[in-house]
């Protein structure tokens, strides 16, 4: 593929820029001053990270022209630094403004098409990796049995029976989808017993309810996942989160597809996350940061993620990071420990980890 590209470049006017040369940008400036259209492609940064495809679909967005006025500062060094900051702000705004307008499911399917159905990206304490294909299959099974065309609400299971019931009343929730394994490990059996007025649907029971017709339906839509798209706009509700209830009863916050994906675009504009990164996320999914950075961003960007959901073990979480095939996480987002002493120990371990490029506390 690379040899073919080099052969094609012989017939296309192009300029190979050496990023280590201080005069390289001057050559580009001379081309722009002469009126020649210039398109800059960072091939060296992207090569080897994203899979190569023949004739990929490319969208080009042209933004309005922006002018950077010369800053009025005493020295040329300060003026260049200020101009660079203004240019960086323009580029960050461009990354967010030019993101595709799509739903969460469409963003997931685009990532699946980019990296492939067999690309493994999610792992948990079972040390079992899930790929785009397996995640799609599980979501189709859940949609077939109970969750098609529904807006999910993530409930704070640490709020107690009263907090969970108040959240369900606020959002009009009558059915809760849970897992017996998680309830047992999280010690939530006593809480579930107090929610007799709600219908608890267990994932273990749903798996046994799958018939041959359901499995054939899942296989068909797994081959043609675009047929499962629901007619909706990016501004339609996508998910419901709840406040902690510190000022009273929990309040529901409705997030649209656009708001969640715009947060992902803002994060990716500030941090250079690539598929070479691996996240270690210990925040629960009902947490806004745990949902956005721990689930949505890895799914749509191809970053691998290790989920550590069991609660009440915050002091041992940084030591539970997997080392499969010598992989180490480059991004860590541990929960807030209960005591200042455990918080200090957690911070020391996180900052001392040699492979973590980003730490979020």
Contact status, residue 260 vs residue 105, Cβ threshold 8 Å? no
> What residue spans define the domains of the chain?
1-47, 73-102, 104-359
Q: Give the pLDDT score at 256.
A: 92
Contact status, residue 120 vs residue 129, Cβ threshold 8 Å? yes
The H or E element containing residue 123 is strand 120-123
Contact status, residue 128 vs residue 135, Cβ threshold 8 Å? no
Q: Give the pLDDT score at 81.
A: 86
Fold of 104-359: Rossmann fold (3.40.50)
Dist CA 37 CA 207 (whole Å):
57
Q: Give the pLDDT score at 108.
A: 92
Dist CA 297 CA 233 (whole Å):
20
| Contacts (Cβ under 8 Å, ≥6 apart) of 33 | none
Q: Give the pLDDT score at 109.
A: 92
DSSP code of residue 294: I
Secondary-structure breakdown of the chain: helix, strand, coil percentages, each rounded to the nearest 5? 45, 10, 40
Please list the rounded mean pLDDT of every run of 10 residues in the chain (361 residues).
Answer: 75 74 76 80 60 77 84 85 86 85 90 89 83 90 78 86 88 87 85 88 84 89 86 89 78 90 87 81 83 87 79 47 54 52 50 51 43
pLDDT tens for 54-108 read: 777 778 888 888 888 888 888 888 888 888 888 888 888 888 888 888 899 999 9
pTM of the shown model: 0.76
DSSP code of residue 153: B
Contact status, residue 358 vs residue 331, Cβ threshold 8 Å? yes
Q: Give the pLDDT score at 86.
A: 87
Best CA proximity match to 254, nearest among 154, 108, 149: 154
């Amino acid at each position: 593929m690379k040899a073919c590209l080099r052969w094609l470049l012989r017939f296309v006017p192009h300029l190979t820029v050496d990023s280590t040369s201080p005069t390289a940008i001057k050559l580009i400036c001379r081309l722009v001053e002469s009126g020649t259209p210039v398109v800059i492609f960072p091939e060296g940064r992207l090569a080897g990270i994203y899979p190569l495809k023949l004739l990929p679909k490319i969208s080009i967005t042209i933004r309005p022209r922006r002018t950077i006025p010369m800053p009025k500062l005493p020295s040329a060094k300060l003026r260049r630094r200020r101009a660079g900051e203004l240019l960086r702000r323009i580029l960050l705004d461009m990354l967010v403004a030019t993101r595709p307008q799509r739903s969460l499911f469409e963003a997931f399917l685009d990532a699946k098409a980019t990296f492939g159905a067999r690309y493994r990206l999610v792992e948990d304490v079972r040390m079992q990796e899930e790929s785009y294909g397996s995640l799609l299959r599980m979501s189709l099974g859940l949609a077939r049995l109970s969750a098609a065309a529904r807006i999910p609400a993530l409930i704070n299971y640490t709020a107690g029976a009263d907090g969970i019931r108040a959240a369900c009343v606020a959002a009009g929730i009558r059915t809760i989808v849970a897992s017996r394994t998680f309830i047992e490990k999280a010690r939530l059996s006593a809480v579930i017993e107090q929610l007799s007025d709600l219908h608890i649907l267990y994932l273990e029971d749903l798996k046994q309810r799958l018939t041959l017709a359901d499995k054939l339906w899942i296989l068909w839509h797994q081959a043609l996942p675009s047929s499962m798209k629901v007619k909706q706009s990016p501004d339609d509700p996508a998910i419901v989160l709840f406040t902690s209830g510190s000022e009273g009863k929990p309040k529901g916050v409705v997030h649209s597809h656009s708001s969640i994906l715009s947060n992902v675009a803002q994060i990716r504009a500030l941090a250079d996350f690539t598929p070479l990164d691996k996240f270690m996320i210990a925040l629960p999914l009902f947490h806004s940061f745990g949902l956005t950075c721990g689930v949505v961003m890895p799914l749509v960007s191809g970053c691998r993620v290790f989920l550590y959901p069991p609660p009440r073990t915050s002091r041992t979480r940084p030591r539970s990071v997997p080392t499969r095939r010598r992989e180490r996480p480059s991004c860590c987002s541990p929960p807030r420990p209960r005591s200042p002493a455990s918080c200090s120990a957690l911070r020391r371990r996180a900052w001392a980890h040699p492979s973590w490029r980003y730490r979020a506390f």
